[in-house]
Amino acid sequence: MARIFSSEKLSLNGDNIRIRSTNANEFEITDSTENSVLLSRSGIVSDFSSLNAQDTKNESDLSVDVSSLSAQDTKNESDLSVDVSSLSAQDTKNESDLSVDVSSLMAEIDATNTNITSNDVVAAEGVPASGDGSFYIDFGSRVFEADALPSVSVTMVNGAGDPIIGAMITEIATTGVTVAFSDDLPSANYKVKILASI
């Protein structure tokens, strides 16, 4: 069984530190002169109270910070709304510009198609014989005016792997065109195509 002893003061380690109780539920740890209180119950309570007060202050500061962040976020949200609105307005403008561009392009295509259909264009082709150095292709049923001969382009086609032979128009007449080859054709695998138009 533990024994209880009673004392107002207790001296420890050759009177280097003293423990005393001045009131009920109170204690103090002092130096040997009892002039310097090293630790006391009231000091501990005071420290905890100041910590609590500091925590309340921090909580208040944090609330202010959160409020300012919320206000900033509201401002940013407003700025973003303005930006999105301006983007939408810009997009509407671009859409309008694109509509004008597409309309003008379609009008230009229609005009080109009209020109193509109103132009006099003839396409013809023929197969020259092996050994030919030139070849005549007629325009079929179309006869051009002597003072309005067409512009003619010529193309040589060979899918059999024969040598490449150059072709040049040497004469344009009202009913056809003469094409000369850079060499006599080594086979009958060549095809000559022309396109004539005014």
Asked whether residue 91 is assigned to any structural domain, the reply reads no
d(CA 34, CA 54): 31
Asked if residue 115 has pLDDT above 60, the reply is no
Asked whether residue 167 is assigned to any structural domain, the reply reads yes
Asked whether residue 186 is assigned to any structural domain, the reply reads yes
Question: What CATH number is attached to the domain comprising 128?
Answer: 2.60.40
Q: What is the pLDDT of residue 117?
A: 52
Q: What is the pLDDT of residue 62?
A: 74
Q: What is the pLDDT of residue 90?
A: 72
Asked whether residue 152 is assigned to any structural domain, the reply reads yes
Cα torsion angle, 162, 167, 171, 176, sign: positive
The boundaries of the domain holding residue 170 are: 121-197
Asked whether residue 189 is assigned to any structural domain, the reply reads yes
Asked whether residue 140 is assigned to any structural domain, the reply reads yes
Q: What is the pLDDT of residue 160?
A: 92
Asked if residue 143 has pLDDT above 60, the reply is yes
pTM of the shown model: 0.41
Asked whether residue 136 is assigned to any structural domain, the reply reads yes
Asked whether residue 79 is assigned to any structural domain, the reply reads no
Length reported for the chain = 198
Residue 10: phi and psi, rounded to 5, are -135, 125
Greatest CA separation found in the chain?
Answer: 145
Neighbour-count burial of 194, counting CB atoms closer than 10 A to its CB (0-12 exposed, 13-18 middle, 19+ buried) = buried
pLDDT in tens, 58-86: 777 777 776 777 677 666 777 777 776 77
- In this structure, what token pair is assigned to residue 21? 């109780």
Q: What is the pLDDT of residue 152?
A: 95
Eight-state DSSP code of residue 164:
P
